[in-house]
Amino acid sequence: MIYYMSESASSSRRTGPPSRGVTMSDVERAADACLREGRRPTIEKVRARLGTGSPNTINPLLDAWWKRLGRRLRGKLPAEDESEPMHRSLEAQIQELDMLLRKEQETRAAQAQRIAALEKELKARDRSTATAAHARKPRSAAKPRASGKAPRIRRAAEKGRR
């Protein structure tokens, strides 16, 4: 006895955001459909049925399908339609995690941009504060006195005028 997926599972189209490539589940459905039609599943036929996927991606998945087929024919593996709800659930969870990851990446990128803008603003304020402090510095403090004799000379000059 051979176990096949239900017809409705193989003809259903995906909805929601695009997935991250061809999955084992996709290849299994396409290869099973080819087998039901009496055609030998090949990389090209599976790829044509899926409408996507590179031969380098499909080939190992199709090899794994062929290895599982013998066990399925002997009845040692459950029919694919029994595991389909689990596959759909896992795919939904993967898509949700992928969406959360993208949001987190966008948030971190926005935060990094905000930090860079704030650092730039802080440097500009530091420069303007330093410039303003330099401009307010009194001239007398900027030029030190040559010696302490100036007050005595002034007093002596004033005595001479009297």
Which residue carries 């694919």 as its tokens? Answer: 80
State the pLDDT at residue 155.
77
Contact (CB, 8 A) for 23 and 91 = yes
pLDDT higher than 70, residue 141 = no
pLDDT higher than 60, residue 98 = yes
Select, from the ranges 17-31, 42-56, 60-74, 86-100, the one with the highest average predicted confidence (pLDDT). Answer: 42-56
Mean pLDDT of 19-46: 88
Which residue carries 């004799």 as its tokens? Answer: 149
Q: How confident is the model at residue 148 (pLDDT cuts 50, 70, 90)?
A: low
State the pLDDT at residue 27.
92
Which tokens go with 126?
């530091």
Per the prediction, the chain carries an average pLDDT of 79
Mean pLDDT of 70-90: 71
pLDDT higher than 80, residue 154 = no
Q: CA 29 to CA 24: how far, in whole Å?
A: 9
Max Cα–Cα distance, the chain, nearest Å: 135
Mean pLDDT of 88-100: 87
Q: CA 92 to CA 85: how far, in whole Å?
A: 11
State the pLDDT at residue 122.
93
pLDDT higher than 50, residue 99 = yes
State the pLDDT at residue 137.
72
